[in-house]
Structure 1
């Protein structure tokens, strides 16, 4: 029984650490793409929305998606999808995309916004840190309770 109070928060801590690592890698990749990436002209092939949430008493969240296609400097045609792009880009429009030569399939059509990227990444890292601290606190509290109760148990 005692193991349960250590295993579950321990697994959660591992998941939080993995999420934080992925979040930082994503932010670094996007930042590097904006700073050092090559540019190309891309065409918006498709624009669509997805919704999530139940409606009724709960809010519905709509996400805008774009599918772009561009040709790299080496002549390779690349198609990629991106969420939360500008609503002003419609099907058939041309826009500038940035990509890293080693990973053109991870291109972005979002305009550079390093402050917004840093703020979003920082907020998510803070949330993960608070959740991790809660797990550690829970484990310490569980250890304290189990240590005190051992002398009282027959």
Structure 2
């Protein structure tokens, strides 16, 4: 029973660390695409929304996604899905796609905005850090509680 109070928070911490790894990876991809200076003409193939939440007491959150397709300078075609794009982009629109020639799969159609990217990544990582600190605090509290109980019971 006691192990349950350690295993569940440890699994949650592992999940948050994995999410942080993915966030940092995507941030590196977008930054590399912007820094390369290489662009291509792309086309929006599809625009759609993803919703989450909406349970009993939770609000609904909607994220706009776009599917883009572009061709690299060496003639390879790539398609990618990007969330959080502008609401004014619709199917058939021509967009500028930024990509790193060595990793075109990490392309982005977002215009360069390094400060916004850094702020968003920083806020998300700060949230993850607070979440992990909460899990560790819970584990320490449970450990202290069980240690006190063990001292009281002969």
Q: TM-score, normalised by structure 1?
A: 0.87
Long gaps (5+) in structure 1: none
Q: Number of aligned pairs?
A: 154
| CA deviation vs aligned residue, 1:36-57 (integer Å, no higher than 9, x gap) | 2521011222333344443997
- My pick for the range that moved more, 60-69 or 2-11, is 60-69
Cα distance in 2 between the residues matched to 1:56 and 1:132:
27
Q: Is contact 2:29–2:106 with CA below 8 Å preserved after alignment?
A: no
Shift in CA distance, 77/59, structure 1 to aligned 2, threshold 3 Å: same
Q: Is contact 2:48–2:65 with CA below 8 Å preserved after alignment?
A: yes
Q: Is contact 2:32–2:99 with CA below 8 Å preserved after alignment?
A: no
CA RMSD in angstroms, aligned pairs only:
2.1
Long gaps (5+) in structure 2: none
Q: TM-score, normalised by structure 2?
A: 0.87
**Structure 1 moving runs of 4+ over 4 Å:** 55-58
Q: Partner of 2:46: helix, strand, or coil?
A: strand
Which residue of structure 1 lines up, in the alignment, with residue 42 of structure 2? 42
Q: Partner of 1:151: helix, strand, or coil?
A: helix
